Every structure is written in structure tokens, then in C-alpha cells.
Structure 1
Amino acid sequence: MLDRITKFTNSTSFLNATKVTIASVVPVLILNFLGYFEIGFTIALGAFYTYPSDIPSTLNHKIKGLIVASFIVSGVNLLVNLAYPYPYLFYPFLGFLLFICSMISVYGQRATLVSFSALISISLSFGHLHQGWEALAYSGSIFIGGILYLIVSLIFHFVQPYKYIELEIAEGIKLTAKYLKLRGDLWSPEANRKTIIEKQLGIQVELNEIHEDLRKVLIGNQSSTATSQNRKMLLVFITLVEIQELALYTSFDHSKIHEKFAKHPDVIRTYQNVAYKLASTLKKLSKNVHNIAVYVDKNDLKNELEALEFAIFDYEKTLGKETAAEGVLMLTNMLKYAKNQVGKIKIIQRALSLAMQSYKLKDQDKELEKFLTPQYYPLRTLIENLSFSSSIFRHSVRLTITILIGFVIGKFLPFQNVYWILLTIIVIMRPGYGLTKERSYNRIFGTLLGGLLAFGIVSLVQNHIVLSIFSIICMLLGISFTQINYKISATFVTMYVVFIYGILVPNVVEVIQFRILDSLAGAILAFLANQFLWPAWEFLNTPIHIESSIRANRDYLKEIADFYNKKGDVPTSYKLARKHAFVEIGNFMTSFQRMVQEPKSKQKTLPLVNKLVVLNHSVLSALASLSTYIQTNQTTSASESFNYIIRTILSNLDHSISILKNETIITDTFFDKEDVTLQFEEMKRKNFTRLATDEELDSETRQAKMQEAQMVIEQLIWMSNLAEKILKITKDLKATNPD
């Protein structure tokens, strides 16, 4: 239990919650003591509005982003107060303001969070309406709160400049360890491979988010003045990405291998032990980073590798050299993978054990910057999205209409606080149906539970100091759980609100009653709007994600084939293609998960989409396997057969993309299946005949080249079959959903 509490308090969610809690509580305490509670509370609101936009980025972007967010949240509040006294002007102006604030989301993650903060500021402005100079002073206090939050955030940054990076690195290592553990599970004869792959894809989604955040901070801060610690963390991050690619390298046909070693299961179990040990070693590394402890390398992996080498030797000795040749080749490939993975893990171990005193990227700063998403905000982007073909435009219109309906209902029906209806709509309403439905249920549940718990506490405790302490704790926990578990977050936020009202007003029972009614009304409006106002059903967006995933895999394959033909150093374009392939399979999986949450009537294509998720992941596995091999081994020249088969695979993937885009397919670009089979046979014959008859090769070189031939051919056969299946299922998908 203590470990879980320590882990929670040493997380990025708790760190961010601590910053906004300090920035909100301090002005209230100080100004309340001086007799200016309302000003202190307004400043606290400004800090609360601004904190969501404090996302991972360079220090320069952090400062600019938080200042802009402070201007926007204070500015919209002032505009609402100035327009409110003029009803004929106010309602159209409010609709326009809501729409514009929502449309800001077209500019990316930070803009989306600034948009959210601006909408929250608009909704809560109806709880504290002012006129004239009072409106200006109130808006100014909100701006001061935003700047105060910026100061607190900067203090945290300069006191512990690498705290966030270390926590994210620890989380990335932990998730990578889980990924490796699942790869190990695949080697169990009774393993449910479909379930394991789905779990891997879920982890892939989380890893993509962490990797993107780390790129922004580490690569963005990489310069001639970057510290040794920043370079070490960058090295750990790059190595983690390579470990994940290496993990995909174990893309063997498990059924075939289990059949091959059915009479020698100990060999497979020995390899599985190595896989599990790799995962457990990374897990220990993650804990060390979380606990801010120096890692001590105990050389735990050496015994497992030696055990696997002995198992291979014993297998060959038992069956005889000729009989065991194919099996030894397979096992040797697996041993090479394990050794490569151990080498990567040791790089991380050395960095975390402080054995590596410095790390330089050899003037690669310019190349690394290509991995970052450009930060620019042209007006053209906003104009291009002013169309119903844009999901953000549809969501903005839907959200604006729903908030206006909620405002009218709150004004003309006996609701106590109209702003709670608006706040609930803004907080739970999302572009997708499934997430809005889930957040609606969680919001209602959390409000009911939080209201009951807080009412019980307020009934027993009347001391304002104790209630203030409880409210601070609940605020801290409510914000901490926002991204982790919204149900728990809503519970603590409701308790926080009730405690505040318990301090400020005598009739807290009425507050709880109206809080529940307001939240219920807002949740119902949000749910109905997402179902009936231009609903954003995920099955309409899924073909876009399928196309992006296939395209990313195709580009990755092109880069691999080009590298195999040319040799030399790995180009940046190759690494970028790899990054996009990993990101797009994660986006595809996220889209599939959203589709699962939708009504059954909208899931007609779900089985086909599920198959395409698995197939695209399998293609990525095969690509990573081929990629890793050719980077870590001396390879021969690419043959004509190799390039012919690559063109075949690319052609099938291109045809799949064309089908999804409703483009005309040029028939003369199709490859005959019999020709492909002949090319495979020719490739096998040439490679194995040449290697067997070449007397100039020593046994070790011959074995290495035979290993290359077998590995490359196996992956090409597998990719060719997968590309054919993707093309077939894409056609079936288009036939099922022609629009």
C-alpha cells in the first residue's frame, strides 16, 4: 500500500496537481488573511484556468504558451462581462465567442487545452458577473492568477529541472517492460495471441504519447548549451525506442516454432526466461528512476544468455549437426535478438548508474529537430477547417449549440447555478460519442458519490480550518486523477466544491442538491447532442486511420529496401519513417477502441477493422524484424528477386490505399501471384546453392549468410501474405461501407 502511495505521489499527474494547488491556495490564504478573500479567490481561478496549457515543451514555449493562455482566459471573461448587459448583442456574441474558442483546437495539443480553459472561463464567468471597472479588475485578477501559475511552474522547473523528464522516462521504461513481458507470453504454447496483441497495441498507444512528450522536451532542449543530464536522458529515450523496435523483431511464426521444438520444449522455455528477464530488468530500472536511486548493475542477464547458449548447444548435440541445422538457425536468430536487447539495456544501465559521464550527439541537433512537430499557427489552417467536413468544426458547432441551450434552460428553469450546467457540458463533451458517453456516466457517478461523502463529513465537521484542509486535499487529488480516472476525479472535485460551500454558506444541503441536478442536466444535454447533432461516429473516421497506418508501413518498407540496396549509415528519413509507422499504428488502435464504445448499429465493420489492426501490427513487426537484422548484420547485395518481391508488397499496399481513397486502380501495376512464387523459389535456390558450393567461405561466414538468406526470405514471404490479406480485407471493408 505504501509503495502505491509513493508511486502515485511521485508521478507527473501529482506533480502537475501540486503546482496548480499551490498557485491556487497561496493567494487565497494570504489575501484572506489581509481581508481580500474575493480577490484571492479570483486569482486562484486564474491559476486554475491557465494550468491545463502547461504541457511538455521547451522552456521558451512553456513561457509563451502560459502567457498567451493567461491573456485568453482573462480576455474572454472580460468580454462576457462587457456584453452581458445588452441581451440582443449578448446572445449572438456569446455563440460567436464559444465557437471561436472551440475552433482554436485546430492548432494542436496546446491550443486544444487553451480552448478548454477559455471555455471553462466563459462558463464560470456567469457565477461572478461584473460591470465597468469591476469587470476590468476581475479580469485583471484572473490574468495575475495565470502569471502566478507560470511563476510557480518555473520555480518547480528550476528547482528540479529534470523531474518531469525522469518521471516520464520511468513510465516509458515501465511500459516497455510490460511490452517485453507480453512478447515473452507469446512463447507459451497455450497463449491467446489475439488478446496479447491487443494488449500490446494498447501499450503502444500509451508509449506513443510518452515518446512524443519526451521528444518535445529532450530534443527541444538539445543545443550547444544542453547539460550532460539532458544528453543522458536523450540517450535513454533513443535507446528505449530502439528496444521497442527490437522487441518487434521477435516476429517469428510461433506456431511453426512450437511445432519444430515440440519434442524439445526446454529450449523454448529457456528463451522465454530470457524474455521475462529482459522485462524484469527494465522494470527494476523504472523503479530506480522513480525512487531517484542510482542503478547498480548486477549483471543479472548474463546467466540467462549463457543458459540459452547451452540449450542451443545441447539441442544440436542431441539431434546431430545436420538434423538440427534449421532449428539451430532459428534459435541463433533468437539468441542474437536477446544479445542485442541486452546491449541496449546495458546502455540505459550505464546512463542511470552515472558510469557515463557525458554523451554527445555529434552535431546531429538539426537532424533531431526533424522529429518534432513544427510550432506555427497560420490563419489558413483555421479557414480551411471552416467546413462540415472538419470534425473540429462539427464539434465546435455542436458544443456551441449545446452550451447555448444549457444557458437558456438554466436561465428560465429553476436551476440555482447555470454555470454548473455549462461547466459539465464543457468538461464531458468530446468529439467522439463513446468518450462523451463514458465521461457522462463517470461525471454523474462521481457527483453523486462525492456529494454523499462530502455531506456526511460536513454534517459531522463544522470547523472551517479542518474543512479548508479537506478542500485542499480534495482539490489536489481531484486534479491528480483527471487524466488517470475521471470517475475518481469527479468524486474529489465534487467534495472540494461542497467543502468550499460548507465554509462560505450555511445551507450546504441545498448546494449539494443543485450541484447534482446541474451536473445531471449538463451530462444529459452533452450526451444527446453528441448523438443527434452531427454525430462524429468513429466508423466514418476509421478508414482515414487505416489508410495512414498502411501508408506509414509502406513508407517504412521503402526506406528499409532502399537501405538494404545502398548500405551505409542509417539516414534520418529512415528513422522518421519508423517513428511515423509506430505512431500511426497507435492512432489506428485508438480509433478502433473508440469504435468499440459506440452503439452496436455503428459497428458493422468492427470485425474487419479489428483484422486490419492486427494485420498492420503484424506488418510493422515484420518490418522491424527485417530492419533490425540488416542494421545489426553485414548483409549481401540485394538481388533482383528481392526488389521484385518488395515492389509486389508495395503494390498491394498502394492498391489498398487507393481503394480507401476511392481512387482508380491502374490494372497493369498488378503482379502475378505465380510470378511472385517463382521469385521466392529463385531467391531460395540462388542463395542456398551459392552458399553451399562457395568453397572460399569459412563455416562461420557461410552460417551467417545462410542465416541472412533464411531470415530475409521468411520475412518477405510473411509480409507478402500480409499485404495480400490487407488488400482483400480492404476490399471487403469498402464493399461493406461504400461511403
Structure 2
Amino acid sequence: MPVLIGIELGYLEIGLALSFGAFWSSPSDVIGSFRHKKFGILFSATLVMIVSFIKGYLHFELWLLLPVLGLITFAIAQISVYGFRASLISFSGLMAFVLSFSLESELEIYQYALLLGAGGLWYLLLSKAWYRINPKAETEEFLSETYLLTAEFIETRGNLMDPHEDHVKLQSQLLKLQSDLTTNHETLREILILSRKASGWSNYQNKRLLIFAQLIEMLETAVANPVNYDRMDALFNAHPQFVKRFQDLIFEMSSQLRMISEAGNDPRKLPKNTAMSECFVNVRHEVTLLRETEYYEEYLMLQNLLEYQETQSEKLKIIKRLLGEHTIDETDFIDRKKARRFIAPQDYDPTLYFRSFSFKSTIFRHSVRLAVTVMIGYALGSIFAFQNPYSILLIIVVIMRPSYGLTRNRAKDRMIGTLIGGAIAFGVVFLIQDPYVYGIMGVISLVIAISLVQKNYKASATFITLSVVFIYAILIPDVLGLIKFRILDTLVGAGLSYMAMLWLWPAWEFVEMKESIEKSVQANKDFLQKITEYYQRKGNIPTSYNIARKQAFLETSNLSSAFQRMTQEPKSKQREMDKVYELVVLNHNFLASLASLSTYIKHYDTTAASERFKTATENIEKNLEQVLQCLKDKTCEVEGRSENDLLLEEPLPTFNSLEISNLGSTDKETVRGLQETHLVWEQLEWLFSISRKMLKLAKSVNLD
């Protein structure tokens, strides 16, 4: 718009400056609370203005320009230490700095810089206007994605019930899905909890916050499962009808979540409960028949599994009621002050910028690495007379990331996308010689490229190349030369980025892996403590309980993500892969067992916690404490005992007061008591077993 208006009024230079300012301020416009988004755009506009002003005076010889270029690049990149949105502000500054090498304006330097800042304000105005027009857009988009991810997670859990499926592959999918869900949950927390109430808006927000709470509960319930896998698999092999009945039920709930995602805000499109009710009737019938056989213990496992699914269906019904015409009282609203405790505050202390000046900091190493690579890239582009040395810098800035795996993938995708885009662009330009067609296709390609950046970087790189070629084809007759240099710049920039990640202060994941395991174990230990406290006291669920649960899920997902990054690194840098993978899986299984306990004691009346329960949880916590000590200093000494002495202790005794024969009783309280005893004790034995395995691995694994 500024360009078109500038052409019309004869002020093209001003229009271009405003447009560049808006474009460079846009990266920080990511989903989250509008307040954070607003400050992000303002800081981006300010940074763009400052770096463009400084660049206007950098008319030095190459030997002096290079260190200045490196210093400014480092200073901008180091801003990422303040978190994700700050990294996007940093990216805006780097983009503005690099692209300013290619721009020559007839305006005064200070005028051009101020107009860039005004362009950022123009973008903020548009963002604010869009938010006012459609304030629900981001909430609905992320809720819809969360419905779909939750549906896929539940469906994958259903597939895991089949003993003939590839459990290793499905378990890997679960870890990836849980990581994606946790990321989505964090974004939704920011949107729903930090959003300010507006007239006519608070009821909608509170309803969505209640829906979000149900989705979190659904994830916990989906993770929960009976733990005697061998007996369960044997039962499912002998009686495959149970697999089908339970899968039909689970898949129906997954399907309903997908339909809810498609329904949006239209209550008429919400799925009915009829099909789900029929599935429950079929499952209950099969489980009741099992009770009349000799499979008493298996009956208890399936009955508990059925009750988990009933809990899941109730949460699904609540979501549908909230999305319908159902009105809620203020007493049902979630206390936002308490809810804010679920959001980890970002440290914006100015001294943090300088405190991070250490090669132990991943961001510091990345900033230094990027600065050196940019200096090398500009030197090569200048010495060997590349058509546009700044293009090499642009590729480096876009591709290089703190992690090796992501940088390698982006470098590969960028090269492939550029080659494909160059070939397509050459064919189009060869066949069509119409500047208006080039202009239209250039704009369309740019819009598609920006839309695909987060979803498919290879396709995005293809359309970026198309956009650049089409736009320059209007101005430059030598399109073939443009394509050739575009490909050459990309190959050089991608190659430098890849080599820098290998040789310049690389940040290998195994260095951070031990800390990731420690955090996951500690979070699981804290969650276990909260479950134990709640089981003993009952009453209302304290906020600290839910925070501990959230932290356990978050750290387990972070550990899984760290392991996935490690698998993308060179084989020589993949330390203790088998043991690390086993620790990742054990942490996930530990959390699944905790989720089983948590789900059961929250939704059913349970008896008082016995002394055996307290003793069991104390033993489990001691094992986890030992795991943490092993990971930290390898001494593994607690209360004067060595780790080997602890491993020689007798395992938890078999629970022998479970009278399976009492199942013949029609007394519901007796059956309920047996269900509780069976589930709780099985989970405790399983937790103890996992903690013992983790302790052995922690003693032997070497990640230093």
C-alpha cells in the first residue's frame, strides 16, 4: 500500500522505506497475547531503525568493515537470550541490517531510518486493526490445532493396544505428538490467560479457558494406562474382541475431536453422543462377560481402563456443552490470578544480556558463530566479485540456527528449493515476456513463501526464489544471470552455514542431554510428591498440584525433543544413544504411570492412604533422588550407602492381601475397593521398577 500510494503521489522512495519497515517488523507478529505481540513489533521497528541508521555510515574499507560487521551481527543476535519472541526481534534486526547493504536511497540517512520506524508503526496499526476485527482468530486457530493433535494422540494410544502393531514406532510417534501438544498448550496459556478482558469478550475467553483445561485433562487421561503390559498383551492375543471394542471406542472419541475442530463456532456441526454411547455399551458387555471367567485380574485391568475412557468421554461432553449454547456461571470461571502461575515469566533483566557472555551459553556461541560466518561470507562475496555479496549474508542469516540438526535441514531444503525455484522461474520467463504477469506472480509467490516458512521450508524456499526472480525480471533484462547468481549465492551461504555448525564452537546436544534428563526426573519426582500429598489429604485439588503436573509433562516433552535433535547430529557426536533413548522412554513411562494414579485418585472416591503406600512412595522417591545424584556427580551416595548397596535391596513385596476371589461378590464397594487396590499397587510396583532401571542406567551412562 505505501508503495502504490508513493507511486501515485510521486514519492516512491518514501513508500519503499515505509514498506521495508513494515516487512522487517513483521517476524515478531507471532501467535500469543496481543500485548506481547505489540511490544515485539515496537521493539522490532526500533531495532530496524537503529541498525539502518548505523549502516548508513558504514562506508569503510573491507579490512575495517568486516570486524564492524561481525560486531553488529553479534550484538543483534545476542538479543535472542531473552526468549523466542526476542529471537524473532533479533531476526528482524539482522534482516534489516543485511538487506540495507543492497538498498540505495536518495533520502537522507536519518530520514530513511525514521521512515523505516514509521513503517513498523504502520504494520502495528494493521495488526491492531485485524485484532479488533477478528479477536477470536488466533484462539480458534490454536484450539482447532490442539483438538487435532489431541485426537491424533488418542488414536495413536488406541493403536498401541493392538499387540501386533509396531510398538516402538508408535511410541516414537507418541513422544513427538506429546512434544507438539505441550508446545501448543504453552501458546494457548499465553493467549487465554494473559489476554485482557474486554466488554462482551470475557465470557468467550473464560469458556475457551475451561475447554483448554479439559484438553489438558484429556492428555493426562490419554497418557494413563494399566501397566501390566505382558498380561494385557496375552489377554488381547487370546481375546482379540477386546482390542476391537476398545479401539472402536477410542477411535470414536478421536473422530469426535476432529469433528469439533471442523465445527468451529457452529454448534449445529458438533458431533452427537449416540455413536460413543453405543461403543460404551459394547465395551461394557465384553468386560462384564470377562468377569464371569477365571480372568479375574485381567478383568480389574480392563475395568479400570474402561473407567479411564468414561472419564475421557465426560471431558469430551463438557467441551461440546461449552461450545454449544451452554451458559456458565461466574463460579465456574478459572481464577486468572492462579492461572498466571502456570506461565513461566521471561527474565528481561538488562544484565542478562551480558551475563550470557559465556561459551556455556548456547545463544552466545550461536551469536559468535553467526558473526564470524557473516564476516567470512561478506569477505568471499567482495573478494571474488559476486553479483550481490549481501545475498550470501541473507542466506546465512536465514539458515543458521543454534542447533546443528535444524541448520543442516534448512541448508539442504534451501539449496533444493532454490534449484527447483530457479528452474521453474527460468521456464516461465523464457515462455512469457510480460512485466505485469511477472509482478502478479512475484507477489503471489511471496505470499505463499511467507505462509509456508514454518510448515514446509523447502517449498517456501522455492517460492522465495520465484518471487525474487519475477520481481527482478521486471527491472533486470539478464534473468539467466540473476538465476545463476541466486543459485551460487545460496550454495555458498548454505555451505558456509553448515561448515560453521561443524567447526565453529559447535553446540552438540549430548552436552545438554544430562541436564534435560535431570529436569525430567526432578519434575516427575515433584509430581509424585504432589500425588502422594493429595492421596493422603484429598479435598480440592491445589494449584500447586496442577503446576507440578504441567511441569512434568513439559520437561518430559523437552527431553524427547532434545533426544530427537541428538539423532540428527553426526554419529560421532551421538553419545550413549541406546542408554539415552532408554532413559527417555523410562521417563515417559514413569509419567504415564503417574498420570494413571493422578487420574484415578482425582475422579474416584478412594480409601485412606495406607502405611504401605507411604513406604512405597518413599522408596520410589529415594531411587529418583539417587538417579539425580548419579547424573550430577556419579558418587550415588545417600545416607552413607553406595548405589550398589541400594540395588541389592529386596524389591517391594508382592501385595498379597488382594483377594481376587471376592470379585464374585455383588457388593459394589467391595469390587471398587479391589479395583483401587489393584490399580494403585500395580502402579506403585511399576514406578518402583522403572526407578530401579533408571538408577542402573544413570550409574552407567557417561555424557560428560
TM-score bracket for the superposition, by shorter chain length: over 0.9
For residue 692 of structure 1, report the CA deviation from its aligned partner.
6.5
For residue 522 of structure 1, report the CA deviation from its aligned partner.
0.7
Kindly indicate whether the alpha-carbon contact (under 8 Å) linking 2:144 and 2:264 is maintained by their aligned counterparts in 1. Answer: yes
What SS does structure 2 have at the residue aligned with 1:478?
Answer: helix
Cα shift readout 1:3-39 (whole Å, capped 9, x = no counterpart) = xxxxxxxxxxxxxxxxxxxxxxx22233233333343
What SS does structure 2 have at the residue aligned with 1:536?
Answer: coil
TM-score (norm. length: structure 1):
0.90
- Counterpart of 1:334 (choices 286, 296, 305) is 305
Which range moves more in the overlay, 374-383 or 170-179?
374-383
Alignment of 1:145-224 (within 5 A): 145-221=119-195, 223=197
Alignment of 1:711-726 (within 5 A): 711-726=679-694
* Counterpart code for 2:574: Q
Q: How many Å separate the matches in 2 of 1:347 and 1:590?
A: 32
The CA RMSD over aligned residues, in Å, is 2.3
1:307 aligns with 282
1:727 aligns with 695
Q: How many Å separate the matches in 1 of 2:196 and 2:595?
A: 27
Aligned pair count reads 699
Q: Residue 251 and residue 427 in structure 1: after superposition, are their counterparts in 2 closer, same or farther (change >3 A)?
A: farther
Alignment of 1:485-504 (within 5 A): 485-504=456-475
* Counterpart code for 1:150: L
- Counterpart of 2:423 (choices 452, 472, 475) is 452
For residue 298 of structure 1, report the CA deviation from its aligned partner.
4.7
Matched, 1:77 2:45: no
Q: How many Å separate the matches in 1 of 2:38 and 2:236?
A: 59
Q: How many Å separate the matches in 2 of 1:222 and 1:727?
A: 46
Q: How many Å separate the matches in 1 of 2:297 and 2:553?
A: 32
For residue 698 of structure 1, report the CA deviation from its aligned partner.
8.0
User: Identity percentage over the alignment?
Assistant: 37
Matched, 1:241 2:212: no
Q: How many Å separate the matches in 1 of 2:533 and 2:476?
A: 72
Q: How many Å separate the matches in 2 of 1:618 and 1:271?
A: 21
Matched, 1:701 2:676: no
Cα shift readout 1:295-329 (whole Å, capped 9, x = no counterpart) = 25353211000111111222334x2xxx3432322
Q: How many Å separate the matches in 1 of 2:331 and 2:4?
A: 47
Q: Residue 149 and residue 294 in structure 1: after superposition, are their counterparts in 2 closer, same or farther (change >3 A)?
A: farther
Q: How many Å separate the matches in 2 of 1:55 and 1:619?
A: 34
Cα shift readout 1:695-739 (whole Å, capped 9, x = no counterpart) = xx98111111111110011001111111111111122212xx4x2
Q: How many Å separate the matches in 2 of 1:501 and 1:733?
A: 56
Matched, 1:632 2:606: no
- Counterpart of 1:253 (choices 213, 217, 228) is 228
2:529 aligns with 558
Kindly indicate whether the alpha-carbon contact (under 8 Å) linking 1:231 and 1:360 is maintained by their aligned counterparts in 2. Answer: no
2:103 aligns with 128
1:353 aligns with 324
Q: Specify every segment of 5 or more residues in structure 1 that has no aligned partner in the other structure, as ranges.
A: 1-25
Kindly indicate whether the alpha-carbon contact (under 8 Å) linking 1:55 and 1:62 is maintained by their aligned counterparts in 2. Answer: yes
Q: How many Å separate the matches in 2 of 1:409 and 1:121?
A: 21
Q: How many Å separate the matches in 2 of 1:543 and 1:129?
A: 50
Kindly indicate whether the alpha-carbon contact (under 8 Å) linking 2:634 and 2:699 is maintained by their aligned counterparts in 1. Answer: no
For residue 94 of structure 1, report the CA deviation from its aligned partner.
2.6
Q: Residue 675 and residue 437 in structure 1: after superposition, are their counterparts in 2 closer, same or farther (change >3 A)?
A: closer
Q: How many Å separate the matches in 2 of 1:36 and 1:507?
A: 28
Q: How many Å separate the matches in 1 of 2:438 and 2:32?
A: 37
Cα shift readout 1:422-441 (whole Å, capped 9, x = no counterpart) = 01001111111221111111
Q: Residue 81 and residue 435 in structure 1: after superposition, are their counterparts in 2 closer, same or farther (change >3 A)?
A: same
Kindly indicate whether the alpha-carbon contact (under 8 Å) linking 1:294 and 1:352 is maintained by their aligned counterparts in 2. Answer: no
Matched, 1:231 2:206: yes
For residue 274 of structure 1, report the CA deviation from its aligned partner.
0.9
* Counterpart code for 2:632: K
For residue 375 of structure 1, report the CA deviation from its aligned partner.
4.0
What SS does structure 1 have at the residue aligned with 2:678?
Answer: helix
* Counterpart code for 1:105: S
- Counterpart of 1:94 (choices 42, 46, 69) is 69
Alignment of 1:581-660 (within 5 A): 581-660=552-631
Q: How many Å separate the matches in 1 of 2:472 and 2:331?
A: 56
Q: Residue 88 and residue 517 in structure 1: after superposition, are their counterparts in 2 closer, same or farther (change >3 A)?
A: closer
Kindly indicate whether the alpha-carbon contact (under 8 Å) linking 1:444 and 1:523 is maintained by their aligned counterparts in 2. Answer: yes
Which range moves more in the overlay, 651-660 or 411-420?
651-660
For residue 554 of structure 1, report the CA deviation from its aligned partner.
1.1
Q: Residue 171 and residue 291 in structure 1: after superposition, are their counterparts in 2 closer, same or farther (change >3 A)?
A: farther
Cα shift readout 1:534-592 (whole Å, capped 9, x = no counterpart) = 11111212111111111111111111111111211111111111111111111111111
1:470 aligns with 441
TM-score (norm. length: structure 2):
0.95
Cα shift readout 1:391-442 (whole Å, capped 9, x = no counterpart) = 1111111110110111111112120111110010011111112211111111
Kindly indicate whether the alpha-carbon contact (under 8 Å) linking 2:259 and 2:271 is maintained by their aligned counterparts in 1. Answer: no
Matched, 1:287 2:262: yes
Q: How many Å separate the matches in 2 of 1:642 and 1:354?
A: 45
Alignment of 1:387-536 (within 5 A): 387-536=358-507
Which range moves more in the overlay, 592-601 or 27-36?
27-36
Q: Residue 685 and residue 222 in structure 1: after superposition, are their counterparts in 2 closer, same or farther (change >3 A)?
A: farther
Kindly indicate whether the alpha-carbon contact (under 8 Å) linking 1:545 and 1:584 is maintained by their aligned counterparts in 2. Answer: yes
For residue 107 of structure 1, report the CA deviation from its aligned partner.
0.5
1:138 aligns with 112
Kindly indicate whether the alpha-carbon contact (under 8 Å) linking 1:42 and 1:142 is maintained by their aligned counterparts in 2. Answer: yes
Kindly indicate whether the alpha-carbon contact (under 8 Å) linking 2:179 and 2:558 is maintained by their aligned counterparts in 1. Answer: yes
What SS does structure 1 have at the residue aligned with 2:274?
Answer: coil
Q: How many Å separate the matches in 2 of 1:279 and 1:386?
A: 48
What SS does structure 2 have at the residue aligned with 1:431?
Answer: coil
For residue 618 of structure 1, report the CA deviation from its aligned partner.
0.5
1:680 aligns with 653
Q: Specify every segment of 5 or more residues in structure 2 that has no aligned partner in the other structure, as ranges.
A: none
Q: How many Å separate the matches in 1 of 2:334 and 2:240?
A: 49
Q: Residue 251 and residue 481 in structure 1: after superposition, are their counterparts in 2 closer, same or farther (change >3 A)?
A: farther
Q: Residue 281 and residue 115 in structure 1: after superposition, are their counterparts in 2 closer, same or farther (change >3 A)?
A: same
Q: Residue 568 and residue 74 in structure 1: after superposition, are their counterparts in 2 closer, same or farther (change >3 A)?
A: same
What SS does structure 2 have at the residue aligned with 1:240?
Answer: helix
Kindly indicate whether the alpha-carbon contact (under 8 Å) linking 1:454 and 1:495 is maintained by their aligned counterparts in 2. Answer: yes
Cα shift readout 1:150-209 (whole Å, capped 9, x = no counterpart) = 112112211111111101101100010000011110111201111111001111111111
Kindly indicate whether the alpha-carbon contact (under 8 Å) linking 1:187 and 1:254 is maintained by their aligned counterparts in 2. Answer: no
